Amino acid sequence: MVSSAAPRAARERRARPVGAPIVVGMLGAGVVGEGVLRLLRDNAATIEARLGGAIRVKRIIARREDKVRSDAVPAGLVSFDPSELLSDPEIEVVVEVVGGLEPAGTLVRRAIEAGKSVVTANKALLAAHGHELIELAEARGVDLYFEASVGGGIPIIRVLREALASDRILAVRGIVNGTSNYILTRMRDERVGFDAALRGAQAAGYAEADPTLDVSGGDAAHKLTILATLAWGAKIDPNQVDTEGITAVDGVDVEHAERFGYVIKPLAVAREHEGGALELRVHPALVDRRSVLASVSGALNAIHVEGAALGPCLLSGAGAGALPTAVSVVSDIVDVGRNLLADARGRVPTRAFRGENLVERPVRDPGEQRCRWFLRFSGHDRPGVLARVAGILGAFDVPIAELVQQERSAAGGAVGIVVLTHEARARDVRDALREVDGLASIAAATRALRIEEG
Ligand code: HSE
């Protein structure tokens, strides 16, 4: 049912003067904000032709910590008080590129309440409060667009909202955190350590202000929440995503994976099971080096959507960085601008994201997942370690497929034992490793990584 508030909000709108530009205000002048301004300036003629009107940025609200130095940011438009933007009746579209829950959440709500359409790149905000914001926007008769929130420059939100509106989605999975992918890629290709690779991602502008969100899997869990909400109209809390970051992945794991013909990738997986339960997980995993995902390197992202009628569909491209993210933000401004010019705000409803339409779905117990595993044990160099480890794995129904024991070093110390298993249940693997790691002959916690097929 369509909310009765929308037509009322529409009646309250002032008429747009014919031929007037779309007037934009921007909250945030950091890396992405600068990219947005650069793109609007450099592609102004093309954008105007495609939109059928001009876009004018009237006000930019910077944070004190923003380093506003770029030639793309006109100094005369910059101020520090959001009220100047929110209370300006001429500003029709607010672009939020501040990030984080607050103050961004309050500013977006105030913008919508003031009757302005909003374009945001804020995945944390959408994952936590997307449904309320969509409801508010629909009630106020304005648009809320968020293409840049997932996959940077990859148009995955449009694909789910529009291109695949006709199909039933079976699964959405892929690489959605550019920073983690960049780190793992450099660890493999250049044998760079984790910290140095992370610094590279920060210098390139891929990482979040607090990179913990990237490497802990939190950022990918936010993005997976948004994708799964759109795909299934499910009421999902990001805390329901079984989340494991890449911080524990060691250079040794990367090398062993390679020897077995695999590459370690940061994956996000959402799948609908029979009966409606959703499987939601974010974790590093070994993928076959000949697979498509293995070739998605650096800060690139890739999202694989499986539709019941369509079958598989893969989208890949730059998932982070100023200009790729700006492409999505500016294209959203163009779409919102088209709706304004046609007096058709709310043209593409995000019903699947509205609180009243969201359906509670059971989330599958992560312990039930069955897959093959890569296990790396660190044993003291004593006779019988291997036999004990193999005995425990067998007792917990974790079948060994391949096993490699490292040469003992002249200096002594721990000896690595790497096991690839056949399919085993996550709960059984966890229980077996608890027992293995309690052995006196085991020197350090065992590393366990899933092997993702397909
Ligand atoms: N920090 C994010 C990433 C930026 O590395 O993917 C894009 O959302």
Q: Would you call the peptide bond into 324 cis, given omega within 30 degrees of 0 as the criterion?
A: no
Residue 316 has φ and ψ, to the nearest 5°, of: -140, 145
Task: Identify the pLDDT of residue 244.
Answer: 98
Among 67, 223, 235, 265, the active-site one is 223
Task: Identify the pLDDT of residue 294.
Answer: 97
Q: How far is the CA of 416 from the centre of ligand 1 (A)?
A: 34
**Helix 31-42 and helix 44-51, axial crossing angle in degrees, nearest 10:** 80
Q: How far is the CA of 4 from the centre of ligand 1 (A)?
A: 38
> Is residue 220 in contact with ligand 1, taking CB distance under 6 Å?
no
What tokens appear for 377 in the block? 């044990």
Instruction: Identify which of 146, 214, 265, 327 to mutate to test ligand 1's pocket (most ligand atoms within 8 A of the CB).
Output: 214
Beta carbons of 149 and 259 less than 8 angstroms apart:
no
> Is residue 217 in contact with ligand 1, taking CB distance under 6 Å?
no
> Is residue 339 in contact with ligand 1, taking CB distance under 6 Å?
no
> Is residue 207 in contact with ligand 1, taking CB distance under 6 Å?
yes
Residue 173 has φ and ψ, to the nearest 5°, of: -150, 155
Q: Which atom of ligand 1 is nearest to the CA of 325?
A: 7
Based on C-alpha coordinates, what's the Rg of the chain?
24
Q: 223 catalytic, yes or no?
A: yes
In sequence order, the 6+-apart residues with CB closer than 8 A to the CB of 215 are 179, 180, 183, 198, 245, 246, 247
> Is residue 35 in contact with ligand 1, taking CB distance under 6 Å?
no
Instruction: Identify which of 206, 210, 316 to mutate to test ligand 1's pocket (most ligand atoms within 8 A of the CB).
Output: 206
- Regions of the chain short of the pLDDT cut 50: 1-7
> Is residue 296 in contact with ligand 1, taking CB distance under 6 Å?
no
Task: Identify the pLDDT of residue 411.
Answer: 57
> Is residue 179 in contact with ligand 1, taking CB distance under 6 Å?
yes
Task: Identify the pLDDT of residue 113.
Answer: 97
Q: Which atom of ligand 1 is nearest to the CA of 179?
A: 5
> Is residue 150 in contact with ligand 1, taking CB distance under 6 Å?
no
pTM above 0.85, yes or no: yes
> Is residue 426 in contact with ligand 1, taking CB distance under 6 Å?
no
Residue type, 314: L
Q: How far is the CA of 147 from the centre of ligand 1 (A)?
A: 13
d(CA 27, CA 30): 10
Instruction: Identify which of 146, 208, 213, 296 to mutate to test ligand 1's pocket (most ligand atoms within 8 A of the CB).
Output: 208
Task: Identify the pLDDT of residue 353.
Answer: 65
d(CA 333, CA 330): 5
Q: How far is the CA of 259 from the centre of ligand 1 (A)?
A: 29
d(CA 364, CA 272): 9
d(CA 147, CA 348): 13
Query: How many Cβ atoms sit within 10 Å of the Cβ of residue 307?
Result: 19
Task: Identify the pLDDT of residue 1.
Answer: 38
Instruction: Identify which of 219, 222, 303 to mutate to test ligand 1's pocket (most ligand atoms within 8 A of the CB).
Output: 219
